């Protein structure tokens, strides 16, 4: 996956799409954003940029008061984007992965619960590769 860097506004749109359970129109994105001053022309530029980067995709159409509007969903999960930002274009070494996991555990609200969850996940992955 190619590393894509998002602007602050693009990241805000992605956060909206990651945390809603349905596709959104451009108008709904403006309504639900923290920066409600976005103009129609600006939101369309942001959407086109995210489409070009492969971060979102058009999901369908929704009836608005006067016409139909395209709806959009995230094409890349929040988790996949986070991994992309950490890993970049090159594979991570074992040492890098261990360092990243260690740092994440240190930052966790409940480190013990995170360690338990990671241990379970690793046990499942180990079974899957045997």
The full length of the chain comes to 130
Residue partners of 29: CB distance under 8 A and separation at least 6: 13, 16, 17, 43, 47, 72
Residue partners of 100: CB distance under 8 A and separation at least 6: 86, 92
**pLDDT score for 101:** 86
What distance in Å separates the CA atoms of residue 113 and residue 127, rounded to the nearest whole number?
21
What distance in Å separates the CA atoms of residue 55 and residue 52, rounded to the nearest whole number?
8
Q: Which of 21-30, 65-74, 88-97, 118-127 has the lowest mean pLDDT?
A: 88-97
What distance in Å separates the CA atoms of residue 23 and residue 79, rounded to the nearest whole number?
19
pTM score of the predicted model = 0.75
66 close to 9: Cβ distance less than 8 angstroms: no
What distance in Å separates the CA atoms of residue 47 and residue 25, rounded to the nearest whole number?
10
**pLDDT value at 20 more than 90:** yes
**pLDDT score for 89:** 64
Q: What is the CATH number of domain 8-74?
A: 1.10.10.10
Tens of pLDDT, residues 33-67: 887 788 889 999 999 999 999 999 999 998 887 88
Domain regions of the chain by residue span: 8-74, 92-129
């Amino acid at each position: 996956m190619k590393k894509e860097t998002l602007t602050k506004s693009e990241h805000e749109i992605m956060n909206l799409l990651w945390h809603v359970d349905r596709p959104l129109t451009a108008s709904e994105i403006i309504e639900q954003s923290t920066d409600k001053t976005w103009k129609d022309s600006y939101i369309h530029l942001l959407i086109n940029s995210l489409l070009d980067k492969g971060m979102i995709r058009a999901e369908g159409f929704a009836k608005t008061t006067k016409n139909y509007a395209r709806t959009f969903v995230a094409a890349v999960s929040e988790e996949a984007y986070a991994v992309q930002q950490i890993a970049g274009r090159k594979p991570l070494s074992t040492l890098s992965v261990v360092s990243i996991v260690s740092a994440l555990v240190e930052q966790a609200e409940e480190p013990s619960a995170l360690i338990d969850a990671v241990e379970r996940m690793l046990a499942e992955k180990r079974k899957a590769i045997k």
